[in-house]
Amino acid sequence: MDSVTMDRRFVLAFRLLMGWTFLYAGAWQVLSSDFSAATFLAHTKTFHDIYAPLTAPAIAPVLTFLVKWGHLLIGLSLVSGLLVRVSGVFGVALLLVYWTAHMNFPYIESHVNLIIDYHIVYATLTAWLVVANAGHVWGLDGWLANSRVPGHRAQAIG
């Protein structure tokens, strides 16, 4: 097996793994009647003054809707390989928000995680998927590029 095939398999595997992570979270949140982003943000420590206003009764339902459906759509995008460069940027932004929201500087979520936790790992991996143009590797972005759809710019991979 050549290195290009191996690289493409890793891109696909990581895209599907991150896609499943977002998709499962989104499906659970959309189907759950008691999920609220405000509950999560009310417990922030390091950046509490930034996140506390988002828990206001007028903002919380809108934010909860955006988080639920954002997770679901990012997951669907990554799993299908459609619009990965767009959804990946939103995924990275969301993961960085979670990272700072969990922060009790210099610890993240607990004393076990000093500055780095899984949110940073996921954000880095998602950023890599954007840069690697992962939707073109056995995904709908690649299919669209190869079908010569008008207005969709094709890019070569690897």
Q: Considering Cα of 124, then 126, then 131, then 136, what sign does the dihedral take?
A: positive
pLDDT of residue 154: 54
For residue 43, what pLDDT is reported?
Answer: 85
**CA-wise closest residue to 149 among 77, 82, 94:** 82
**What pLDDT does 40 receive?**
87
Q: What is this structure's pTM? A: 0.88
pLDDT tens for residues 25-72? 999 999 999 999 998 898 898 999 999 999 999 999 999 999 999 999
Average pLDDT for 80-96: 97
Q: Residues 89-142: pLDDT tens digits? A: 999 999 999 999 989 999 988 889 999 999 999 999 999 999 999 999 999 999
Domain boundaries, the chain: 3-146
Which distant-in-sequence residues (6+ apart) come within 8 Å of 67 by Cβ? 29, 37, 94
